[in-house]
Chains A and B, each alone.
Chain A
């Protein structure tokens, strides 16, 4: 039975992103849904969070939706415009700062059960079938920060093994990151898709279904996942509030750059 919802699937994803940001946290965002989600968080859920971007702009508060992370829309209202290398240093030092709590959002073309992400190519790296932009800031983010991964939920994207590992997740289990020399305590926290929210088991670091969006079935998630996924802990996600949807449509993306309805 199809129920008419008062929000779109992308709005549900944006709100899911917003809910994953806690007050006082630093959120590293890209353009598109992560920035929209983070803007909702900043206004309605976590007013003391800081939005930062990999181009080096701190405390982003754009008055119009930007299309790049170095958009003048971000520069005009940021607190500090770092040279880009300062952001590199901030990543590396974030493990040292005692007061830093940080969540970062990345996307990709493929993901495996341990949250390793490919945003480089499909097929052979040297002569690929399909080539994408490459890492962007995702590799650095995945190296040092807790991440939330944004992905369309399709079987060809949720794969046993990614064609190219651009951004490390938990590698192959609980000791994977330590074995590779990566900061062991940081890593993927959640995957937000058009169907729901996946998380990673504390013990095994393998992906499981945490929430499914209203109107989505667990069978749908299993069918669209290219590896075995545990659904035993899944619950239905809470729909967004009317206020949140109103805020997205009137304040965050009034020109429907990223959210169409």
Chain B
């Protein structure tokens, strides 16, 4: 079955206000910016959001006030911002519910989710405030059906009472959003380079939106199928958005846009500049196609990676 739909339809049909969302990628790599932009255009709100190692994508979503609760282990455009500026501000102002985990624990929770397991016993977080201080209390959790009733439970290993463990509940994800290199029109997915958390969030969510650099005929995707990770029936929507991860990078396709990441670091420090940026680059740009056009051909060509290195090289002229 053909799953290809427009970005606008994917976001309006599959993401509801109040949903629990998980986004793929890693800080400045394969982040699903096109979907985040469209969510901002459509004014999605009251969301429960997590993204493992998050970057500017989640920082923007937080900055426009779309998140009721944000589950964090790291949020910054690594190497370009010391900390996500809107993320920082929302927490310092008390504007949003938030919880902290270790960056290693989130992937194992997503993996457990992909295996259908309700919780994971880990030694991580023991002896630290990640276990002892909760961002979201049990009382507040009672008011939010989307959240587990506890952050975690410290418990003895029933098979070895001398061992202490943190039992951490698996998130109940409504929609996973990932950006990949190749998708067939039917929704078979091929990620190149590290898959990070993307396969697991896709398999554990109730619905899955995949944006891709390249749309591929189903027969073509059956060649070298050992390189595919997700079968079509897991995927609800395939959206073709070349440069859909800009300003982050996509292995074998393009590098991160350093100047854009530096610009975001600057504007996101200031309320007014941030909202002007959101207006200029998202709200006043009706589609992803218009966004690419605004960036310009030469800017995008300059991001092309050199085969064998995996990144773009600036030659001295």
Tell me the smallest distance from the CB of A193 to a CB of chain B, in Å: 18
What is the 8 Å Cβ interface bit string for chain A, positions 38-49, against chain B (1 contact, 0 not)? Answer: 000000000000
Q: Pick from A73, A77, A135 the residue with the most CB of B within 10 Å.
A: A135
Interface residues of B in 39-84 (CB under 8 A from A): 52-53, 72-76, 78-80, 82-84
Across-interface contacts of B197 in A (CB, < 8 A): 83-85
Are B92 and A139 in contact, CB atoms less than 8 angstroms apart?
no
Tell me the smallest distance from the CB of A171 to a CB of chain B, in Å: 6
Tell me the smallest distance from the CB of B265 to a CB of chain A, in Å: 12
B28 is an interface residue with CB less than 8 A from chain A: yes
B225 is an interface residue with CB less than 8 A from chain A: no
Tell me the smallest distance from the CB of A131 to a CB of chain B, in Å: 4
Please tell me the number of chain B residues within 8 Å of chain A, measured between CB atoms: 63
Given A136-B103, A183-B123, A68-B196 contact (CB < 8 Å):
no
| Whole-angstrom CA separation of A181 from B128 in the bound complex | 11
| Whole-angstrom CA separation of A76 from B128 in the bound complex | 35
Across-interface contacts of A83 in B (CB, < 8 A): 107, 111, 194-197, 199-200
Are A73 and B74 in contact, CB atoms less than 8 angstroms apart?
no
| Whole-angstrom CA separation of A4 from B88 in the bound complex | 40
Across-interface contacts of A67 in B (CB, < 8 A): 28, 78-80, 256
- Of A56-64, A222-230, A242-250, the one with at least 4 CB within 8 A of chain B: A56-64
A71 is an interface residue with CB less than 8 A from chain B: yes
| Whole-angstrom CA separation of A76 from B306 in the bound complex | 11
Across-interface contacts of A66 in B (CB, < 8 A): 79
Are A54 and B28 in contact, CB atoms less than 8 angstroms apart?
no
B193 is an interface residue with CB less than 8 A from chain A: yes
A140 is an interface residue with CB less than 8 A from chain B: yes
A232 is an interface residue with CB less than 8 A from chain B: no
- Complex: chain A residue closest to B28, CB-CB: A68
B274 is an interface residue with CB less than 8 A from chain A: no
A259 is an interface residue with CB less than 8 A from chain B: no
Are A182 and B194 in contact, CB atoms less than 8 angstroms apart?
no
Across-interface contacts of A181 in B (CB, < 8 A): 123, 126-127, 163-165
| Whole-angstrom CA separation of A113 from B73 in the bound complex | 25
Main secondary structure of the interface of B (DSSP, over half): loop
- Complex: chain B residue closest to A181, CB-CB: B164
A51 is an interface residue with CB less than 8 A from chain B: no
Tell me the smallest distance from the CB of B69 to a CB of chain A, in Å: 14
- Complex: chain A residue closest to B123, CB-CB: A143
| Whole-angstrom CA separation of A88 from B255 in the bound complex | 27
Are B104 and A91 in contact, CB atoms less than 8 angstroms apart?
yes
Are B127 and A135 in contact, CB atoms less than 8 angstroms apart?
no
Are B92 and A63 in contact, CB atoms less than 8 angstroms apart?
no
Kindly identify which residue among A92, A121, A139 contacts B125, using a CB–CB cutoff of 8 Å. Answer: A139
| Whole-angstrom CA separation of A57 from B249 in the bound complex | 16
| Whole-angstrom CA separation of A173 from B25 in the bound complex | 39
Are B108 and A88 in contact, CB atoms less than 8 angstroms apart?
yes
Are B129 and A125 in contact, CB atoms less than 8 angstroms apart?
yes
| Whole-angstrom CA separation of A226 from B222 in the bound complex | 62
| Whole-angstrom CA separation of A144 from B52 in the bound complex | 20
Across-interface contacts of A126 in B (CB, < 8 A): 94, 135
Are B126 and A143 in contact, CB atoms less than 8 angstroms apart?
yes
Across-interface contacts of B28 in A (CB, < 8 A): 67-68, 70-71
Tell me the smallest distance from the CB of B254 to a CB of chain A, in Å: 9
- Of A7-15, A19-27, A162-170, A203-211, the one with at least 4 CB within 8 A of chain B: A162-170
A129 is an interface residue with CB less than 8 A from chain B: yes
A81 is an interface residue with CB less than 8 A from chain B: yes
| Whole-angstrom CA separation of A120 from B134 in the bound complex | 13
What is the 8 Å Cβ interface bit string for chain B, positions 88-101, against chain A (1 contact, 0 not)? Answer: 10011010000011
B141 is an interface residue with CB less than 8 A from chain A: no
Across-interface contacts of A130 in B (CB, < 8 A): 88, 92
A215 is an interface residue with CB less than 8 A from chain B: no
- Complex: chain B residue closest to A82, CB-CB: B194
Residues of A within 8 A of B (CB): 31, 54-57, 63-64, 66-73, 75-77, 81-85, 87-89, 91-92, 120-121, 125-140, 142-144, 164-168, 171, 176-177, 180-183
Residues of B within 8 A of A (CB): 26-29, 52-53, 72-76, 78-80, 82-84, 87-88, 91-92, 94, 100-105, 107-108, 110-111, 122-130, 132-133, 135, 163-165, 193-197, 199-200, 249, 251, 255-256, 305, 308-311
With A85-B197, A135-B74 known, 17 other A-B pairs at CB within 8 A are A55-B53, A68-B26, A69-B78, A76-B309, A76-B311, A83-B197, A83-B199, A84-B104, A89-B108, A92-B123, A134-B73, A140-B124, A143-B127, A164-B133, A165-B128, A165-B129, A166-B129
A-B pairs, top 5 by smallest CB distance, nearest first, are: A67-B79, A76-B310, A181-B164, A180-B127, A140-B104
Subset of 7 A-B contacts with CB under 8 Å? A55-B196, A81-B194, A83-B199, A142-B128, A165-B132, A181-B127, A183-B123
